[in-house]
C-alpha cells in the first residue's frame, strides 16, 4: 500500500511540474510548441521538487512559506506563478486566457493544504452510519430536565449538542475540567441560546457535592459520560480508576435515584468485556452496579438504570485518529502497537444518537439493563492508518511499537452469557446478562473504594482479580527490581481461594453466586 501511495504522489507531482513547465514555455514562445524533451525534463524535476517540499514542510510545519505548499512540486509552483503573472505574449494568441486558467489550476493542484486532522470521520468507516430519527427522541427530552456528566468530553459535549436540539426544559452540564466546561457552554450559547442551561463545575468523586446538585435540579434523565479512559495511564494509577469509574458512578447513580430521576444511562466500553486492564475492570464493575440498581428499580417501580456499551469513537480527543492526523501532518512515522491490533469504531454522532435511543427505550433492555451498539466488524488499526494516508494523499513510514500495558489485540462486545437481541432502534442491541446480587456488588464496591482511598495498590489489584475472575491483567513492570506486575501473583503463587462473586463466567456465574448466598 505504501508503495502504491508513493507512486501516486510521484506521478501527481511529476505531471503537475511537467504541465506547468510546458505551459509556461508555450506562453513564453507562443509561435512554437515545446518538444517532448521538455516533458521528459519536467516529470522528474517536478516529482523531485514535490518530495523536497514535503520533507521541508514536515521539518518546519509552521513555516509561513513552506506551509503554503507542503506537497507541491516547487518547480511546478514557480513556473505556474511566473506564467500567471507574466504579461500576455507579444504575438496574438487567442488561447492565452484558457492557458492562463490552466496554469492557475496546475498551481492549485500542486499546493493542496496539509492535513489538519479534519478528515470526516465517516470516511474512515467500512459501513454506513446508523443515525436515529430525532423525532423518535423528542418525547424523551422535550420539556424535561437533563443532566450530563463529563459534559466537556467528546461524548459528553456531543450529548449536550444533541440534547439541546431536542428542546429540554433545562440542561445541566456537569464537568470537573473548567476549560472543557467553559468551551461546551460557550458552544451551546452560540448554537442554542434559547435553551435554559447551567454549567456546574463538580467532581463525581465528591459524594456530597453530587448529591446537592441532584437535589437542587432533580433531573428526569441523567446521562453519565464522566470517566477516566486512558488504558496505560490507569494501569499505573489503579486507585484513580476505581475512585472515578466505580465509586464516582455509584455517587452519581445513587444521587440520581434519591432525587427522583426516571432514567439513568451509564456510558460504558467494550473494554469491560473480559477486561485485560484496570480501566476495563473498573467499567465492568460500574456496569454491574448499574445493573443491580436497575433490578431494584424494576421491582419498586423506581428509576430505570441502563448501561450502553460500545467501542472506540472516531475523532474523539486522544483517539488514534487524532494521533495519526498529527503524525501525518508532521511527516513523522505512524506508531501502531501491533499489525494485528483491531478495534470497533463508530462516529461520535452515531454513538450519541444510539445512546439517546437507549435512554428512550429502557424497557427494551429487559431484565439485563444492558444495551450494546452494533458497530459492524472491527477495523484493523493498520488498515485505518493506510486509509488515512490514502485519503490525504500523503505517505509516511509505519512503525510498530508493541502493545502497551493493559491492551488486547482485539476487543469484544459481549460476554459469553449475554446473548444479544435486536430492538426497535436499528443499530441498538439488547444484551441479556444473568441477574446480580445487589448486596454482593455493594460490598465489592466498598472494599475496592477503601483500598483505593488508602493507596493500597497491590491489595487493590489482588481484590480486582478476586472479585472479577474474568479480569486477566497484562504485565505491568514495577519500578523496583522484581520485574513483577504490581498486584500480580508471583511465579508459582496461586490466586486466593475465595469464591468468585462478580463473574458471569466460572464459579457458576451470577446464578450460582446468588444460590450460594441464599443457602448461607
Alpha-carbon distance 427 to 368, whole Å? 18
Closest alpha carbon to 116 in 317, 321, 329, 322: 329
Q: 456 is written with which cell numbers?
A: 493500597
Check the CA dihedral 45-47-51-53 and report its sign.
positive
Q: 482 is written with which cell numbers?
A: 522484581
Q: 280 is written with which cell numbers?
A: 476495563
Active site residue 271: yes
Taking residue 206's Cβ as centre, other Cβ atoms within 10 Å add up to: 14
Q: 26 is written with which cell numbers?
A: 508555450
Taking residue 120's Cβ as centre, other Cβ atoms within 10 Å add up to: 11
Contacts 24+ apart (CB under 8 A), 481-486: 485/461, 486/238, 486/457, 486/458, 486/461
Q: How far is CA 38 from CA 19, 26, 43, 263, in A?
A: 10, 11, 9, 72
Determine the 3-state secondary structure of 335 from DSSP: strand
Helix (H) or strand (E) holding 436: none
Alpha-carbon distance 350 to 320, whole Å? 18
Neighbouring residues of 180: CB distance < 8 A, sequence distance ≥ 6: 151, 152, 153, 157
Closest alpha carbon to 319 in 383, 384, 391: 384
Specify whether the CB–CB gap between 232 and 193 falls below 8 A.
Answer: no
Q: 39 is written with which cell numbers?
A: 516533458
Specify whether the CB–CB gap between 202 and 224 falls below 8 A.
Answer: no
Alpha-carbon distance 265 to 370, whole Å? 10
Alpha-carbon distance 248 to 270, whole Å? 19
Alpha-carbon distance 430 to 163, whole Å? 23
Instruction: Give the number of residues written for the chain.
Output: 520
Taking residue 197's Cβ as centre, other Cβ atoms within 10 Å add up to: 21
Radius of gyration for the chain, computed over Cα atoms and rounded to the nearest angstrom: 29
What secondary structure letter does DSSP report for 491? Answer: T
Indicate which residue of 229, 271, 274, 283 is catalytic.
271
Determine the 3-state secondary structure of 224 from DSSP: strand
- Would you please indicate which residues are annotated as catalytic (active-site) residues? 271
Amino acid at each position: 500500500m505504501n508503495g502504491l501511495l508513493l507512486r501516486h504522489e510521484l506521478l501527481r507531482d511529476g505531471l503537475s511540474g511537467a504541465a506547468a513547465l510546458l505551459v509556461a514555455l508555450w506562453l513564453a514562445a507562443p509561435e512554437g510548441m515545446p518538444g517532448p524533451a521538455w516533458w521528459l525534463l519536467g516529470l522528474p524535476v517536478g516529482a523531485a521538487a514535490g518530495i523536497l517540499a514535503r520533507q521541508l514542510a514536515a521539518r518546519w510545519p509552521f513555516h509561513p512559506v513552506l506551509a503554503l505548499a507542503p506537497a507541491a512540486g516547487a518547480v511546478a509552483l514557480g513556473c505556474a506563478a511566473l506564467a500567471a503573472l507574466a504579461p500576455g505574449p507579444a504575438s496574438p494568441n487567442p488561447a492565452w486566457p484558457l492557458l492562463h486558467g490552466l496554469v492557475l489550476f496546475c498551481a492549485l493542484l500542486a499546493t493542496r493544504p496539509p492535513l489538519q486532522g479534519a478528515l470526516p470521520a465517516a470516511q474512515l468507516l467500512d459501513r454506513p452510519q446508523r443515525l436515529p430519527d430525532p423525532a423518535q427522541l423528542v418525547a424523551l427530552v422535550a420539556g424535561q430536565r437533563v443532566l450530563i456528566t463529563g459534559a466537556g468530553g467528546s461524548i459528553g459535549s456531543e450529548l449536550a449538542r444533541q440534547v439541546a436540539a431536542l428542546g429540554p426544559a433545562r440542561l445541566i452540564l456537569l464537568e470537573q475540567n473548567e476549560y472543557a466546561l467553559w468551551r461546551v457552554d460557550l458552544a451551546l450559547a452560540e448554537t442554542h441560546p434559547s435553551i435554559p442551561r447551567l454549567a456546574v463545575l463538580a467532581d463525581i468523586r465528591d459524594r456530597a457535592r453530587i448529591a446537592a446538585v441532584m437535589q437542587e435540579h432533580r433531573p428526569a434523565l441523567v446521562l453519565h459520560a464522566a470517566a477516566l479512559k486512558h488504558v496505560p495511564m490507569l494501569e499505573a494509577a489503579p486507585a484513580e480508576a476505581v475512585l472515578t469509574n466505580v465509586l464516582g458512578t455509584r455517587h452519581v447513580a445513587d444521587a440520581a435515584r434519591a432525587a427522583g430521576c426516571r432514567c439513568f444511562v451509564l456510558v460504558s466500553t467494550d473494554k469491560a468485556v473480559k477486561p485485560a486492564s484496570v480501566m476495563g475492570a473498573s467499567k465492568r464493575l460500574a456496569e454491574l452496579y448499574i445493573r443491580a440498581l436497575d433490578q431494584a428499580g424494576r421491582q419498586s417501580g423506581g428509576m430505570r438504570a441502563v448501561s450502553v456499551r460500545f467501542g472506540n469513537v472516531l475523532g474523539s480527543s486522544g483517539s488514534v485518529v487524532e494521533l495519526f492526523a498529527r503524525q501525518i501532518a508532521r511527516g513523522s512515522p505512524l506508531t501502531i502497537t501491533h499489525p494485528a491490533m483491531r478495534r470497533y469504531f463508530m462516529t461520535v454522532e452515531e454513538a450519541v444518537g444510539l445512546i439517546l435511543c437507549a435512554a428512550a427505550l429502557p424497557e427494551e433492555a429487559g431484565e439485563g439493563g444492558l444495551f450494546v451498539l452494533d458497530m459492524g466488524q472491527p477495523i484493523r488499526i493498520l488498515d485505518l492508518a493506510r486509509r488515512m494516508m490514502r485519503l490525504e494523499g500523503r505517505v509516511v513510514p509505519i512503525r510498530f511499537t508493541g502493545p502497551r500495558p493493559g491492551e488486547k489485540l482485539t476487543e469484544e462486545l459481549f460476554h459469553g452469557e449475554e446473548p444479544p437481541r435486536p430492538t426497535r432502534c436499528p443499530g441498538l442491541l439488547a444484551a441479556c446478562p444473568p441477574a446480580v446480587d445487589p448486596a454482593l456488588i455493594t460490598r465489592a464496591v466498598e472494599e475496592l473504594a477503601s483500598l483505593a482511598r488508602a493507596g493500597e495498590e497491590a491489595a487493590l489489584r489482588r481484590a480486582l482479580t478476586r472479585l472479577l475472575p474474568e479480569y486477566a491483567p497484562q504485565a505491568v513492570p514495577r519500578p523496583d527490581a522484581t520485574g513483577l506486575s504490581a498486584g500480580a501473583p508471583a511465579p508459582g503463587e496461586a490466586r486466593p481461594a475465595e469464591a468468585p462473586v462478580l463473574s458471569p463466567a466460572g464459579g457458576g456465574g451470577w446464578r450460582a453466586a446468588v444460590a450460594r448466598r441464599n443457602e448461607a
